[in-house]
Structure 1
Amino acid sequence: MFYLWDHKYEVYTKRGRKSPLFLSKIDMISKERIEALIDERIQELDKNLYVVEMTISSNNVIRVELDRIDGYVAVEDCMSVSRNIEHNIDREQDDFELHVSSAGLDKPFRHENQYLKNIGKRVKVKLKDTSKIEGELIYFDSEEMQLKDRVKKKIEGRKKKEWVEEIYKIKMKEIKDTKIVISFK
């Protein structure tokens, strides 16, 4: 619970504005309550569905991003989770705005399952030192990930550069973000 100052009740004097004499009381929806409703529906639907991110803003805007380990999230999955939340929260008591969607292709990975799901696919990694590495994700665990890429390198004893397969081992604590590379080839 917190109190909100409403700007439409500001009082102006010759010296400037004065704070209002009262504050509005707003009840926030609990994160645990929403997580329980989401988990309840996911258990009913499919164990391969998981929550990537769930946030509730101070003005009760609820955002839920879902993903699947074994494929893509169906619109029906999002609708089902959304309906379970809507039907179990009283709008008369808790005014809220709800957005349930799949994790977008253009967004960075935020859950370990997203790395596991994308093994074998091309990803772009931004490191905390501002460098970038792109390659095929070939290994992931909670400590590190490995990328494989073909690069042209000068090989000793040869006149021109040749294609060489390079393996990059990256510690997870060095990563700023990871995104899938979208290709239309």
Structure 2
Amino acid sequence: MIDKDLLTATVNEAIEGTPLFLVDIDVRPGNTIVVEVDSTEGVDIDQCVAITRKIEERFDRDVEDYELEVGSAGLTSPFKVRGQYIKNIGNPVEVLTRDGRKIKGTLTSVSDTDSSFVITIKTKVKEPGKKKPVEVEEPITLTPDECKYVKYLIEFK
């Protein structure tokens, strides 16, 4: 079985000094390895090749056979690490909370001290003396523990 800690250290070594950050490493039965990385600038094929080569240097296929897939975290995949939240500040997101609420809004900030983040949603409020409801922005502070998922929201206009 592939040593996940050594694999993680190898990937972190490969991305050191680059804008890339590690999102997830999954070692599945049958030694199928899936490495997900991301970056605020995007991930290109050359970066994935460099990571693949570093892993292949450290893990000899003759000693332990494995299948390796290195790629970027999917656009519609749920956020797994803080870097993905930071990357998506200012972008529309969809959140499904543990209590079943689905919230769509704009990710406006990520805390430096804890894992909380703020989403701004637009709501209509009936103000006294006005005939029509007025649209206001309301910030909602959440933590990843309160959410089943948080992901980038693709909007077609």
The normalised TM-score by structure 2 is: 0.90
User: Residue 51 in 1 paired to residue 22 in 2?
Assistant: yes
Q: Which of 100, 115, 123 is the equivalent residue of 1:151?
A: 123
Cα deviation 1:134-161 (Å, max 9, x = unaligned): 1111111234211112222222332222
Q: In the alignment, which residue of structure 2 is the partner of 1:61?
A: 32
SS of the equivalent of 1:59 reads coil
* Cα separation, 1, equivalents of 2:136 and 2:146: 25
Q: By how many angstroms is 1:184 displaced?
A: 4.2
- Higher relative CO (Cα under 8 Å, sequence separation at least 6) belongs to 2
User: Residue 124 in 1 paired to residue 94 in 2?
Assistant: yes
Q: By how many angstroms is 1:96 displaced?
A: 0.4
Cα deviation 1:105-157 (Å, max 9, x = unaligned): 11000001111111111111110001011111111123421111222222233
One-letter amino acid of the structure 2 residue matched with residue 54 of structure 1: I
User: Residue 174 in 1 paired to residue 141 in 2?
Assistant: no
* Cα separation, 2, equivalents of 1:29 and 1:148: 43
One-letter amino acid of the structure 1 residue matched with residue 33 of structure 2: I
Q: Which of 112, 129, 135 is the equivalent residue of 2:82?
A: 112
* Cα separation, 2, equivalents of 1:139 and 1:40: 29
The normalised TM-score by structure 1 is: 0.77
Q: Of the two, which has the highest radius of gyration?
A: 1
Q: In the alignment, which residue of structure 2 is the partner of 1:8?
A: none
* Cα separation, 1, equivalents of 2:67 and 2:153: 32
Q: In the alignment, which residue of structure 1 is the partner of 2:105?
A: 135
Unaligned runs of 5+ in 2: none
Unaligned runs of 5+ in 1: 1-27
Q: How many residues align?
A: 155
Aligned-residue RMSD, C-alpha: 1.6
Cα deviation 1:74-112 (Å, max 9, x = unaligned): 111111101221233221210100010101111000001
Q: In the alignment, which residue of structure 2 is the partner of 1:98?
A: 68
- Contact 2:82/2:115 (<8 A) preserved: no
* Cα separation, 1, equivalents of 2:86 and 2:46: 24
* Cα separation, 2, equivalents of 1:172 and 1:103: 18
Percent identity between the aligned chains?
Answer: 37
Q: In the alignment, which residue of structure 2 is the partner of 1:83?
A: 53
The change in CA–CA distance for 1:171 and 1:83 in structure 2 (over 3 A counts) is closer
